[in-house]
A and B are shown apart, each in its own frame.
Chain A
């Protein structure tokens, strides 16, 4: 039981030579086990751990069985990304190969979505869907060539608009720019 351990040169002074103990090594190990378990319990209960970390960890643990039932990639993307995933997908499904989709400015999306997403950022859109040809709202050179755009209806639903002529295009641009 008195096997020596290899420690680095940081050994404490005066602790190395004596092996005299008041209790048996087994009892010592039991005490240390209790100290370990007690230390964990105390640390978990400390307010900063309990409130900001442990409560979340417990919630994460409880979520696992439900998550295991929803293993499809589609479900996981939908539940985590919501509109950021769904809106580019819906747009892609409703566009013809030659269409160029005009991405609305961030402010317009923020004004109309309850939980504003950032799907209209050209990079986020491209990450979610690389099939659709898009035109950033700030790209004034390409903007006249855009063929489709999106508007929100009063209930927060989305609607695709065909930019048939300059008049419709300008109306949409004005709508997007409205404060």
Chain B
């Protein structure tokens, strides 16, 4: 059943990605298609609930098949994509083997633990998996988990976290995986396939391998590749959003920008607070696009913001109207207070950025590589990616400052996962890495130009 599910995610995702020429490398395409397909199938669950369709093993599987095929309605694009895939040469090299073996080993352990271990984190038990468990049992998202008298007088915010993870868990529960969080293994595998595939299309595979390895070796993030919370999936989609944001600034097309917005949309679908970062991205798009014309710049910034806003509206506004209970206002007393905002930033730096245990060497490497790259190449190329590090930092301070439930020791500690795909993608495309990449290509007698 897992194989069938993955295949359906892949088919649905390929149908969507057929419309975006920016994704054409095989590994990148496969990884992103699975992630996109999962996103599409969770949106399907949402609409099935809105239409009062009973959620059963049969109905969701049927729905997934229909939706996956429906994604290929623009079949000419799909055909062109399949022809392209068949024609592309297989260009894996011997020096990629160590990274591929290591990656397979780590994804295997991650997927095994995701499959084997029961859902453990408290937030998932009283939140996302609670909703998924009773939805699977009772056939509707709005189940006894929201209405049972045992739970009256209490409200758990975790049940109202964004839907991607909840619905993924529901789909896999309905496929017979009543223990564990098998879908997380799928996300983890697809994520690394995509990240490696994407970075190796931009830089030398050895650099791509090192960056991917460093990304998977982040202790805290690796642990959540098999523990059910929202932060890992959000970070995965956020990373994809930033990567195609950068691609869009390079190819200049609105289409790639929409792909980026779709990924940011799924990030919001995985965790609503990701919406905080979107206006900053829209501002950067506006600034970059001004040279094409004011109208176009405004349109692009608007289009970029609109897709995540739709995802936010579907869940946090529309669906909340249907729920029997919703969490109270979560805006804290100190929201907007500059003093407490500065305290939040200083705490974030001291407790998290400088932390030696949680995140490996990510921030140290970023800082050193950025400076070294600047000194050696005198170029700020890739700023469209590194600016997201700044945006994330600003955004996390705001989240701590605005929302009462957001704590640095929990919310932001794991929210920080969003940094790492961005950081290691930046390292891969930084001018210094590009220079080293050129040397590596010459070492094997290849040109590094198109």
Contact across chains for B151 and A123 when beta carbons are under 8 A apart: yes
Instruction: Scan residues 188-238 of chain B and give those whose CB is less than 8 A from a CB of chain A.
Output: 201-203, 206, 209-210, 213-214, 217-219, 222-223
Q: Are B445 and A57 in contact (CB under 8 A)?
A: no
**B442 near A126: Cβ-Cβ < 8 Å:** no
Of B52-60, B142-150, B273-281, B408-416, the stretch lying at the interface with chain A is B142-150
Determine if B360 is an interface residue (Cβ-Cβ < 8 Å): yes
Q: Pick the contact of B126: A24, A30, A124 (CB < 8 A).
A: A124
10 example contacts (A-B, Cβ-Cβ < 8 A) are as follows A5-B91, A16-B448, A25-B445, A53-B219, A60-B109, A67-B116, A80-B118, A123-B126, A124-B122, A127-B125
| Chain A: interface residue total (CB-CB under 8 A) | 67
Q: Which residues of chain A are near B166, meaning CB under 8 Å?
A: none
Tell which of B118, B130, B435 has the most Cβ of chain A within 10 Å: B118
Query: In the complex, A57→B216 CA distance in Å?
Result: 11
A152 CA to B62 CA, complexed, in Å: 50
Chain B residues at the A interface, C-beta cutoff of 8 Å: 89, 91, 93-99, 102, 105-106, 109, 112-113, 116-118, 120, 122, 125-126, 129-130, 133-134, 144-145, 148-154, 156, 178-179, 201-203, 206, 209-210, 213-214, 217-219, 222-223, 247, 250, 356-358, 360-361, 381-382, 429, 431, 434-435, 437-450
Closest chain B residue to A67, Cβ basis: B116
- Cross-chain contact of B130 among A23, A76, A127 (Cβ < 8 A): A127
Contact present for A76 and B179 (CB under 8 Å): yes
B138 to chain A, nearest CB (A): 10
Q: What CA separation (Å) do A134 and B210 show in the bound complex?
A: 53
Residue of B nearest to A71 (CB): B116
The 4 closest A-B pairs by CB, nearest first: A15-B438, A16-B449, A25-B445, A28-B444
Q: Which B-chain residue is minimally distant from A31 (CB atoms)?
A: B443
Q: Tell me if B150 and A126 are in contact (CB < 8 A).
A: yes
Contacts of A43 in B (CB 8 A): 210, 213-214, 217
- Say whether A112 faces chain B, with CB atoms less than 8 Å apart: no
Assembled-state Cα–Cα distance A47/B298 (Å): 48
Known: A10-B429, A33-B95, A48-B357. A57 touches B106 (CB 8 A): yes
The tally of CB-CB contacts under 8 A between chains A and B is 199
Residues of A within 8 A of B214 (CB): 43
Which of the residues B116, B125, B210 comes within 8 Å of A39, measured between beta carbons?
Answer: B210
Within 8 Å by CB of A36, from B109, B206, B443, lies B206
A2 within 8 A of B: yes
Find B118's partner among A17, A35, A77 (CB 8 Å cutoff): A77
Chain A residues within an 8 Å CB radius of B93: 29, 32
Q: Determine if A19 is an interface residue (Cβ-Cβ < 8 Å).
A: yes
Residue in B closest to A48 when the chains form the complex, CB atoms: B360
Task: Tell me the bound Cα distance from A76 to B129 in angstroms.
Answer: 17
Evaluate contact between A3 and B446: CB separation under 8 angstroms.
yes
Indicate if the CB atoms of A29 and B434 lie closer than 8 Å.
Answer: no
Contact (Cβ within 8 A) B134 A121: no
In the bound complex, residues from chain B placing their C-beta under 8 Å from that of A12 are 431, 434-435, 437-438, 448
Q: Are B99 and A36 in contact (CB under 8 A)?
A: yes
Asked whether B153 lies within 8 Å of A138 as measured between CB atoms, the reply is yes
Contact A36 B382 (CB under 8 A): no
Asked whether A40 and B99 contact (CB < 8 A) given A8-B202, A77-B118, A77-B179, the answer is yes
> CA A49 – CA B357 in complex, angstroms?
9
In the complex, which residue of chain B has the Cβ closest to the Cβ of A32?
B95
**Residues from 16 to 71 in A contacting B, C-beta threshold 8 Å:** 16-19, 21, 23-25, 28-33, 35-37, 39-40, 43, 46, 48-49, 52-54, 56-57, 60-61, 64, 67
Given contacts A19-B442, A23-B443, A25-B444, 16 further A-B contacts (CB under 8 A): A7-B448, A8-B202, A12-B434, A21-B442, A28-B445, A29-B444, A32-B93, A32-B443, A35-B206, A36-B95, A43-B214, A76-B118, A76-B179, A126-B150, A138-B153, A139-B153
Contacts of B120 in A (CB 8 A): 80-81
A53-B217, A73-B178, A123-B130 known; A118 and B150 CB under 8 Å? no
| B250→A8 contact, CB < 8 A | yes
Measured CB to CB, the closest approach of chain B to A21, in angstroms, equals 5
- Residues of chain B within 8 A (CB-CB) of A17 are 447, 449
> What CA separation (Å) do A5 and B203 show in the bound complex?
10
Known interface pairs A40-B99, A139-B153; A126-B109 also in contact (CB < 8 Å)? no
